[in-house]
Amino acid sequence: MICLGIEGTAEKTGIGIVEDNGKVLSLAGCQLFPEKGGIHPREAADHHSKWIPKLIIEAIEKANISLKDIDLVSFSRGPGLGPALRTTATASRALALSLDIPIIGVNHCIGHIEIGKLDTGACDPLSLYVSGGNSQVIAYEYGRYRVFGETLDIAIGNALDQFGRETGLPHPGGPEVEKLAKDGNYIDLPYSVKGMDLSFSGLVSAATRKFQEGVAIEDVCFSFQETAFSMLVEVSERALSHTKKDELMLCGGVAANKRLREMLDKMANDHYAKFYMPKMEYCGDNGAMIAWLGILMNNSYGSDKLENTNVIQRFRTDEVNVPWVKQSNNKIKLPKEILAKGAESDIYPSYWIDTEAISKVRNRKSYRIKEIDEKIRKSRTKKEAKLLTEVKRVGVKSPILYDIDLDEKAIVMEKINGTLFKDFIATLNSEDKKDQKHIANLKENDEKDQKHIANLKEKEVKDFSIAIGENIGLMHKSNIIHGDITSSNIMINENNELVFIDFGLGKYSNLIEDKCVDLIVLKKSLQSVDYKIANEIFDNILEGYISSYDEEDINKDNIIEKIAEIQARGRYTH
């Protein structure tokens, strides 16, 4: 089978022709460069209308085939700019009808991942997908690609373009920022990571102000790039630590940046994982990724009916079943002396006087420049030490703090014996030996752990979920934001009590926005462990959360609406 793919989600028009054995026969593309400002949706649509017919002819000639050899037409259904998507879909329908062949619409984001896997040989990677319209950390779990983290406002490519427009740089902004950054020095800019999510709008505003105040453009570009990319690598590192996958892949147009590639390669190496990046012609928007995904989907589902080829402007990555993907059992293997390795720190066995303890050390991050690394490690060590004590005051159980060393960026604390909530819920729907693989892969899978999990299963998960919500409510009522509430940072100790750990991203805030982001981080982490029951668990958490407040202080509908609003944000709007 030979598939012709048509890409047209934003400013790039792309045509690709791919065989069902994975051989890319040809690529053809043309990018719109506006004279000033950003990409206007109607201009992008006009650009596609002009170039799709020309590029089809070019791709056919490069592949050394005729139109009659095409067996399937695939097109990017979304996400993207509405007018651009509709023009692309219309052209695809016209081609399929004229050739009397099947047609299929595909998800643009998944296209990037699949062409990346095809080109690099990666099997089951954690993917950082960064482009003009998307910034997502994605990995396969339970039949779909799950979004572990993403931007809560604008994407990194869009952030670079916005900064470029504000400072008079040519479009697109990314290559110009990279070029100028080579001669710059560091200035302090805001660093905004929220669990496995991040935000760029504040960074754009602060960097623009620095330029307007007279700071050298080279220094602003250097600092913007180092800050933004450190944020992206950190959330990728946190997801890698959470999933324990041993492959990391970079894809999307911003992958062209050499500094970002260098930082991710260093981080993957530090986590004993392999780093992959497809060739540049497959990183940016291209027709081959649309054609290859069209083949994969057609093999699994068959083609679309013509009346079902509507576009989906906000087409979420995690809305698509991907039965052709196989989950790998390969996991990161840590040295014996490290109990656990996270994005924040490494955990080592320790003692305090004659009491068994753990030492949490925020080691130097090789991918971050010294100025950013020192600031973050010191700040988070101080915050965690303070919040570990503060949350106890409001009635939330956390490890006892024994000692703090700001020079080494380390704290010594009580060792909690028990089970991560992540490991507990991973076993809830176990029906056969295959489902029990997760338990077999637990690092400390001894008889004691097995008995604890078995005992926990006798207690309704609903009770734990409600109790988690109540505990988060207690923190939020006192304006304590955990900052990284994941199912890996909640433990059930040997007395079946909930213990909250890892407060390094915590802060004080009375903003409903920050409190809802806390809840969103938890919801996403639950979905990554077991999507089938995640929503039910989260609903119970919300029940407990609301119950911890006085009725006049908070309303469940308002919380749900705010969570939905935050999750719906992004570049692609009507």
Known catalytic residues are: 484
In this structure, which amino acid lies at residue 565? E
Q: Collapsing DSSP states into helix, strand and coil, what is residue 189?
A: coil
CA distance 340 to 360: 10
Determine how many CB atoms are found less than 10 A away from the CB of residue 139. 23
Is the separation of the CB atoms in 358 and 474 below 8 Å? Answer: no
Q: Which are the contacts of 548, defined by CB distance < 8 A and separation ≥ 6?
A: 469, 470, 471, 472, 473, 474, 477
CA distance 369 to 364: 10
Of the candidates 111, 206, 100, 97, the residue with the CA atom closest to the CA atom of residue 159: 206
Is the separation of the CB atoms in 263 and 367 below 8 Å? Answer: yes
Is the separation of the CB atoms in 55 and 17 below 8 Å? Answer: no
Give whole-number Cα distances, 326 to 122, 139, 368, in Å.
12, 12, 33
CA distance 215 to 50: 42
Residue given tokens 């919300």 in the structure block: 542
Q: Collapsing DSSP states into helix, strand and coil, what is residue 60?
A: helix
The helix, strand and coil proportions of the chain, stated in percent and rounded to the nearest 5, come to 45, 20, 35
Beta strand residue intervals within 252-386, DSSP E? 274-276, 340-341, 346-352, 355-361
Q: Which two tokens stand for residue 427?
A: 């076993």
What is the phi-psi region of residue 47: left when phi exceeds 0, alpha when psi lies from -120 to 50, beta otherwise? alpha
CA distance 318 to 57: 34
CA distance 463 to 447: 25
Phi/psi at 393 (5° precision): -60, -30
Q: Supply the DSSP symbol for 551.
A: T
Q: Which are the contacts of 168, defined by CB distance < 8 A and separation ≥ 6?
A: none
Q: Which long-range contacts (CB under 8 A, 24 or more apart) does 322-327 make?
A: 322/110, 322/140, 322/143, 322/144, 322/145, 322/296, 323/143, 324/296, 324/299, 324/300, 325/124, 325/140, 325/145, 326/123, 326/124, 327/124, 327/140, 327/141
Is the separation of the CB atoms in 195 and 521 below 8 Å? Answer: yes
CA distance 78 to 233: 26
